[in-house]
Amino acid sequence: MRELAMCVQNSNENVSIEDTIYAIKNAGFKNVFVQWYDKDWEFSQEEQVALCKKLGLNIIFAHLGYQNINSIWEEGEEGESLIERYKTDIWNCKQNGISLVIMHLTSKKVAPMYGEIGLNRIRKITEYAKEIGVKVAFENTRLRGYLEYVLGNIKDENVGLCFDIGHYHTHFNDEFDFEFFKDRIFAVHLHDNDKTGDLHLMPFDGTIDWKNGIKKLKESNYDGPITMELCYRYEYLKMPIDEFYEKGFEVGKKLQKIFEKE
């Protein structure tokens, strides 16, 4: 049976990140992913990793930040500086025992057109990752074409996709070329929405067709953990944080059964 994993979510409302980590652990999760965003959080990303390890939580990957990521496609020093920033992040993750990182290729609704400038920078990042034994999975965000362009041009075995089913639903209207990415899905972000936005609801609280989504993942030969990216906000604030993650764990077990059947 596939392992369950949960996001260590820094956007949870009304609770500390320490409370979030303890609640995830107490709910029964053994695996997590962390947000390595290089932000000035009160409880730093390094401290979050240390607490997860102290509690015996296995960190399956780190989601890297995407500040100024659109500039990677443009000429100029800002885009060039991203190469060293991501190399540093990848090296730091490797030093913390994390051998898979997630990256975005764009942010927001509009980005510069993809092309050789960005591809060459991205290739430098992924080649460095390959040298030190780290895999890089690029996430499907909201703009079409960027993933196909990058993965079509970079065929290295350490470069793949992080499939976000919430983005697939709300931004892509459930349209996605799974055949193109077959055998290259390294990670998933599982959460729900009702197509009004990227809400990060619990699975089955929105309008995603989970049986079909999981069927597509299996047909694409995804064989990794059932990784949820939930956020404690909205109506969920009516329940305590511990209850939220306990419910998340039970929902994860429902997804396990669908993975077994489909």
Per residue of the chain (262 residues), give pLDDT as tens. 999 999 999 999 999 999 999 999 999 999 999 999 999 999 999 999 999 999 999 999 999 999 999 999 999 999 999 999 999 999 999 999 999 999 999 999 999 999 999 999 999 999 999 999 999 999 999 999 999 999 999 999 999 999 999 999 999 999 999 999 999 999 999 999 999 999 999 999 999 999 999 999 999 999 999 999 999 999 999 999 999 999 999 999 999 999 999 7
In angstroms, rounded to a whole number, what is the distance separating the alpha carbons of residues 30 and 18?
16
In angstroms, rounded to a whole number, what is the distance separating the alpha carbons of residues 70 and 117?
12
Element (H, E) at 7: strand 4-7
Rounded to 5°, angle at Cα 53 from 49 and 54: 115
Range of the domain at 221: 4-261
**203: Cβ–Cβ under 8 A, 6 or more apart, which residues?**
190, 191, 192, 210, 228, 251, 254, 255
Residue pLDDT, tens place only, 115-160: 999 999 999 999 999 999 999 999 999 999 999 999 999 999 999 9
- The closest alpha carbon to 28, from 251, 232, 216, 262, belongs to 251
Residue indicated by tokens 């969920």: 236
Contact 106, 139 (CB under 8 A): no
**76: Cβ–Cβ under 8 A, 6 or more apart, which residues?**
none
Residue 62 sits in a domain whose CATH number is 3.20.20.150
- Per the structure, the count of domains in the chain is 1
Q: What is the structure's pLDDT at 149? A: 98
Residue pLDDT, tens place only, 85-115: 999 999 999 999 999 999 999 999 999 999 9
Amino acid identity at 22: Y
